[in-house]
Amino acid sequence: MAKRQLNRRQNWRIEKIQGERAARAAKRESQALQTLEGGDLGPEQTGLVIAHFGVQVEVEALEGEMAGQVFRCHLRANLPTMVTGDRVVWRPGNQGIGVIVAQLPRNTELCRPDPRGQLKPVAANVDLIVIVFAPLPEPHANLIDRYLVAAEHAGIRPLLLLNKADLIDEQNAVALNAMLAVYRQLGYPLLEVSAHQGDGMEQLMQQLNGHVSVFVGQSGVGKSSLVNSLLPEVETRVGPLSELTGKGTHTTTTARLFHFPGGGELIDSPGIREFGLVHVSRDDVEAGFIEFHELLGHCRFRDCKHDREPGCALLKALEEGRIQPQRMASYRHILASLPEDEY
């Protein structure tokens, strides 16, 4: 009991300190904004958010003589949260600083829950989600399936990318190939590359050319290494795997957008520990499993939970091998993790 009270008091203190810190940052921000607004601001123009840091974002000018230049921008009050890939209306100020006046509508929005389970957009206006995995850190099919559900939900095309092909060996090949076979059979585009040795990188480049893509996946799979290999003039930070756990060490901390010389953009995003899907419904999850599409609506009971109901079209397909056991397990795992009311 005493311990719990102490924890509550500690929590309260932490929240108080964090609240004060946020208030101070907001005050500094509004003072900076006032100074800027009081000075000479250039005309309103469109820009592209290429990275964001707490309350400030980096905007690339898209128009006029300043096109291509990057400005650190403050946000006018009451604007929604900006993410990498957002198009905005902004006004340049002095010394590479500017003010964002408005956010332009997004075509697409890739979201994921933050550690508190609140839904946060991570990238805007992308048309290709590149789901990166590798022999090491050990890949999880369930995480890939979660990304596939999120991609379907957001209406964004997925591409599966196995990086570190140079690390495929006798020990991991069987399990890896079995996993790849599952996705090939489902018809998902899949590439095997090595950022280090260059294998497959040209095909990857072809797939990305002209698109706005975002690299997602566990920490340590080599997303930033792929960026460095695709765009040699970019030198984004790469970090080793933990010797203790074999997992990534969360090197990239903010999503950042890069341009391809021939057109198209690429967003490198921070790796994640796990990808909860709290914002989707049971229907959304089912819609994210493409092999279910032709079966849904064919169960005997309209509210079938595909658990052990008689006359279930999904269970029958599972028995007949038209649904792969790994995918059914993944589906159940995702459903079990949704909040109660969705389940």
Contacts with Mg ion by CB under 5 A lie at 223-224, 251-252
187: left (phi over 0), alpha (psi -120 to 50) or beta: left
Taking CB under 6 A as the rule, does residue 213 contact ligand GTP? no
Closest CA to 129 of 153, 113, 103, 106: 153
Find the binder of ligand GTP among 93, 158, 271, 288 (CB under 6 A). 271
Instruction: Identify the residue whose tokens are 């940052």.
Output: 25
Q: 120 labelled as ligand-binding?
A: no
Residues paired with 131 in a beta bridge: 160, 216
160 binds, among ligand GTP, Mg ion, Zn ion, none (CB under 5 to 8 A by kind): none
Find the binder of ligand GTP among 38, 105, 240, 263 (CB under 6 A). 240
Taking CB under 6 A as the rule, does residue 252 contact ligand GTP? yes
Taking CB under 6 A as the rule, does residue 221 contact ligand GTP? yes
Measured between alpha carbons, how far is residue 188 from residues 19, 142, 175 in Å? 45, 15, 18
312 binds, among Mg ion, ligand GTP, Zn ion, none (CB under 5 to 8 A by kind): Zn ion
Least gap, CB of 254 to Mg ion (angstroms)? 10
Measured between alpha carbons, how far is residue 290 from residues 99, 162, 171 in Å? 43, 21, 31
Query: In residues, how long is the chain?
Result: 343
Q: How many residues bind ligand GTP (CB under 6 A)?
A: 24
**In angstroms, how far is the first alpha carbon of the chain from the final one?**
34
Site string for ligand GTP, 170-209 (x = CB under 6 A): ------------------------xxx-------------
Taking CB under 6 A as the rule, does residue 166 contact ligand GTP? yes
Phi, psi for residue 61 in degrees, rounded to 5: -70, 135
Contacts (Cβ under 8 Å, ≥6 apart) of 154: 108, 109, 110, 111, 129
Residue whose CB is less far from Zn ion, 211 or 306? 306
| Residue 131: its H or E element | strand 128-133
Least gap, CB of 320 to Mg ion (angstroms)? 42
Full DSSP string of 140-155: -HHHHHHHHHHHHHHT
Q: 248 labelled as ligand-binding?
A: no
Site for Zn ion in 269-328 (CB under 5 A): 299, 304, 306, 312, 314
Binding site for Zn ion (CB under 5 A): 299, 304, 306, 312, 314
Binding site for ligand GTP (CB under 6 A): 163-164, 166-167, 194-196, 219-225, 238-241, 248, 250-252, 270-271
